[in-house]
């Protein structure tokens, strides 16, 4: 059986950490390549950042802004995706950070209104996408995400948790089942 390759795309202001709980859980089911795009650059620049990783990926998995991004990359590549606590309305979400700030790992960034305007919204996919939500997400309204996406694609919600997604171990069987179903459809 072919080794599964997951492209793990981080969210806004994140960094790649091979020892993170999510990464270590994903390592149990696949080879994982991770990338942390700079979302304070244009959408086109972010696409260019992830482009070199796409060919090898069997599944794209993204958190927060990475969840938005994998939905768009699915449209470009036809590859399945799992979006974890995804941003649905990117311009509304990013607009809160226009100006110069520090991200949650201590790096300074500047985000302009012009850059924010380059981002499209999340793109649901009934056939190639799945969403995982922690209902205790303190940054993104999980109830709204669930209400909007549940009629359009598979959504699995976990009680409690946070924006960082606390249920990766529990989600592994869902991800594996989703991949098996997606491979049968292709």
Alpha helices in the chain (DSSP H): 21-26, 43-54, 65-77, 90-95, 113-116, 142-149, 168-185
pLDDT tens string 32-42: 999 999 999 99
Range with the poorest average pLDDT among 12-21, 39-48, 106-115, 158-167 = 12-21
Q: What is the mean pLDDT of residues 123-135?
A: 95
Phi-psi map region of 157: left, alpha, beta (phi>0 left; psi -120 to 50 alpha): beta
Q: How far is CA 23 from CA 130, 146, 181, in A?
A: 18, 24, 23
Q: Is residue 54 domain-resident?
A: yes
Q: With 80 as the cut, is the pLDDT of residue 129 above it?
A: yes
Q: Is residue 133 domain-resident?
A: yes
Q: With 50 as the cut, is the pLDDT of residue 1 above it?
A: no
Q: Is residue 105 domain-resident?
A: no
Domain that holds residue 177: 5-90+120-185
The pLDDT-based confidence of 161 (bands split at 50, 70, 90) is very high
Q: Is residue 107 domain-resident?
A: no
pTM of the shown model: 0.93
168, burial (CB in 10 Å: exposed 0-12, middle 13-18, buried 19+): buried
Q: Is residue 103 domain-resident?
A: no
Residue 103 confidence (pLDDT): 80
Residue 185 confidence (pLDDT): 56
Q: Is residue 12 domain-resident?
A: yes
Q: Is residue 75 domain-resident?
A: yes
Q: Are 131 and 79 in contact (CB under 8 A)?
A: no
Find, among 140, 171, 126, 143, the residue nearest to 64 by Cα. Answer: 140
CA distance 49 to 38: 8
Q: With 50 as the cut, is the pLDDT of residue 15 above it?
A: yes
CB-based contacts of 28: which residues, under 8 Å, 6+ apart?
172
For the chain, the domain total comes to 1
Q: With 60 as the cut, is the pLDDT of residue 184 above it?
A: no
Strand partners, 109: 101
What is the CATH number for 39? 3.40.50.1820
Residue 134 confidence (pLDDT): 97
Residue 180 confidence (pLDDT): 84
CA distance 11 to 68: 9
Strand partners, 35: 9
pLDDT tens string 41-90: 999 999 999 999 999 999 999 999 999 999 999 999 999 999 999 999 99
Q: Is residue 104 domain-resident?
A: no
Find, among 87, 101, 102, 93, the residue nearest to 149 by Cα. Answer: 87
User: pLDDT exceeding 70 applies to what percent of the chain?
Assistant: 97
């Amino acid at each position: 059986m072919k080794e599964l390759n997951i492209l793990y795309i981080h969210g806004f202001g994140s960094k790649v950490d091979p020892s993170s709980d999510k990464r270590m859980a994903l390592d149990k089911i696949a080879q994982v390549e991770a990338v942390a795009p700079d979302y304070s650059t244009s959408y086109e620049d972010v696409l260019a950042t992830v482009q070199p990783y796409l060919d090898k990926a069997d599944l794209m998995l993204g958190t927060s802004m990475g969840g938005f991004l994998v939905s768009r990359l699915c449209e470009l590549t036809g590859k399945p995706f799992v979006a974890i606590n995804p941003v649905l309305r990117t311009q509304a979400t990013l607009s809160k950070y226009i100006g110069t700030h520090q991200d949650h790992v201590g790096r300074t960034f500047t985000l302009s209104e012009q850059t924010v305007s380059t981002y499209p919204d999340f793109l649901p996919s009934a056939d190639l996408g799945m969403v995982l939500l922690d209902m205790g997400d303190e940054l993104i309204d999980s109830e709204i995400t669930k209400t909007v996406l549940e009629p359009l694609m598979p959504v699995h919600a976990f009680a409690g948790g946070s924006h960082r997604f606390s249920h990766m171990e529990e989600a592994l069987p869902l991800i594996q089942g989703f991949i098996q179903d997606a491979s049968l459809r292709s």
